[in-house]
Structure formats: C-alpha cells, structure tokens
Amino acid sequence: MIKFFRHIRQRLIRENRFSKPASPARPTDSSGRAGRYLLYAVGEIVLVVIGILIALQINTWNEERKTNANLSKALKALKTDLAQDSLLIAAYLPEVTQQYQFNESLRERMARPKATVDTLLKITRNEFNPNWNNPIFYNTNAYKSLNDTGLIDVMNDSLKTHIKDYYNGKFYREGMVESITKDYREKLAQYVNTYTFGSTDLHDQGRLIDSLVWDNVDLSHLAASFQGISNFKRILFRLTRDEMEYSLHNSKGLIQHIDQNLDSDD
C-alpha cells in the first residue's frame, strides 16, 4: 500500500499538477485532478498513520526486549540467592541436628526412672546451654526486587506460581520460628537471671557466684524451669530444622525451573 500511494505521488509530480494550469481546464479534467489530489491527500494521511504505527510497534518491541533483559537479570540474581542460601543450610543443618539431638539426650536422661537430684544438678549446672541464636539469615533481596519492580507479574504463570509458593512456605515457617523465638527469649531471660551455667566459656562466672547460686537452689523451681525452657528449645530446633530442610529441598526444584526459563529465553 505504501508503494501504491508513493507511485501516485510521483506521477502527480511528473505531470506537474502542483502548478497553475496554462490554459483553462475542462470540467472533466478538473474533476479527475481533484480526485487524484484527494487520493494523494488520503495516501499521505495513511502513510503518516502507518509510520506512527510502525514507530509504536518498534517502541513496544524495545520495551519488551528491555523488560525481558531486566527479568532475566532478576531471575539470575534470585537463582544466586537460592544457591548461596542452600550452601549455608548445608553447612549449618548438621550442627542444628547435632544440637537438637544433644538437647534431647539431656531430656531423656532426666526422664529416666533412675534419674536423681544429682542428675538434675549436673545437667543444669554444667551441661545444658539455654542460649539460642538463629543459625541463618537468608538473602531475600532478589525476591523483594521482583515484587517491587513488578517483574514477577510479567513472567509466565507457572514460574511465578512456583516462586510465590516457595517463598510463602518459607516465610510461613520463618514466622513460626520467630514467634517461638520471641517466647523463648522471655523464658531465657528469667532462667539466666535465676541460674548460672558453665556450659560455655562466655558464662564463666567463677566459683563464688556459682556456689552462691547453686548451694541453696530451689530444686522444684529448677526442675520446672529446666523442663519448660528445654521443651521450648526442642520446639525451636524442630521448627528451625523443618524450615531449613524445606528450603534446601524445594530450592533445588525452583533453581531448575528458573534455569529452564532462562534457557528458553536465549
């Protein structure tokens, strides 16, 4: 169509129809020229419209290409976060499992029929460590960036659902750990303000303070306090281990899904 209107324009120029006629034109000639002028004018308008549409399409293609490039960059960053978190989990999960098993062994010793007051005193005074620290702080910057920039909404539905499901499950488990941790720290504050313990170098309070605390200790209160705080710690270990195992297992499938999406875009 562009060639058609361009041909008309060139023919009109060749016929010199833009200059004033040298002799009076016949009505039929004027009508024909008017029709060609109208056709030319319409053609010019069509050419302008087509040019605008082409420019808009090119701009749309450029924006799509830019968006796809940003999405690819964001997915690579998300993959890096997941991989680094997996390495941290693989490093700390055995330690968490070991500490959980040690905590359980202390509780089992206290629950034995042959357990005595000396058993309670030995465990609480020298072996049990009530301290608790979150083993891992995860990097969620890439996931937050996907949401803040809206890029998560332009990816395919399958990958978007996979990413959201993974992080929703992860954040739910982290929320449970944080909630129990808050309650545990309240119990911990009461415990350490009442009893000393020699299970770590950080709490080497010396013989005088240690003897003043333990020589006349309230055994009933000690037993109840140990039972309560060790049970809280058991719950924390289980929730933390569950969250770490969830992240370690499910991140592998998500990384594979991201790789498939990146490969299809190349």
The predicted-structure confidence for 225-262, as pLDDT tens digits, reads as follows 999 999 999 999 999 999 999 999 999 999 999 999 88
Q: Give mean pLDDT, residues 14-42.
A: 59
DSSP H or E run through 256: helix 219-265
Q: Say what the pLDDT of residue 18 is.
A: 45
Tokens of 82: 């997941």
* Residue 35 confidence (pLDDT) above 60: yes
Query: Residue 233: helix, strand or coil by DSSP?
Result: helix
Identify the residue whose tokens are 């996931």.
143
Q: pLDDT of 165-205, one tens digit each?
A: 999 999 999 999 999 999 999 999 999 888 887 655 555 66
Q: Say what the pLDDT of residue 45 is.
A: 82
Dihedral, 161, 181, 97, 171 alpha carbons, nearest 10? 0
Q: What are the extents of the domains in the chain?
A: 2-55, 72-265
Closest CA to 115 of 221, 20, 219: 219
Q: pTM for the complete prediction? A: 0.74
Query: Quick one: what percent of the chain has pLDDT higher than 90?
Result: 57
Enumerate residues 6+ apart whose C-beta is below 8 A from 126: 197, 198, 199
Lowest mean pLDDT among 3-7, 194-198, 214-218: 3-7
Closest CA to 255 of 81, 130, 133: 81
* Residue 104 confidence (pLDDT) above 90: yes
Helices (H) and strands (E) in the chain, counts: 7, 0
For residues 6-31, one letter each, b for 16 or more C-beta atoms within 10 angstroms of the residue's C-beta and e for the rest, the string is eebbeebeeeeeeeeeeeeeeeeeee
Q: Give mean pLDDT, residues 15-34.
A: 55
**Cβ distance 143 to 81 under 8 Å?**
yes
Q: Say what the pLDDT of residue 215 is.
A: 87
Lowest mean pLDDT among 3-12, 87-96, 206-215, 240-249: 3-12
CA 126 to chain centre: 42
Query: Which DSSP symbol is given to 112?
Result: S
Closest CA to 90 of 239, 237, 240, 244: 244
How many angstroms separate the CA atoms of 32 and 38, rounded? 10
Cα-atom radius of gyration of the chain, to the nearest Å? Answer: 38
Query: Which DSSP symbol is given to 135?
Result: S
Q: pLDDT of 41-82, one tens digit each?
A: 777 787 778 888 887 777 777 777 888 899 999 999 999 999
Closest CA to 97 of 238, 259, 258: 238
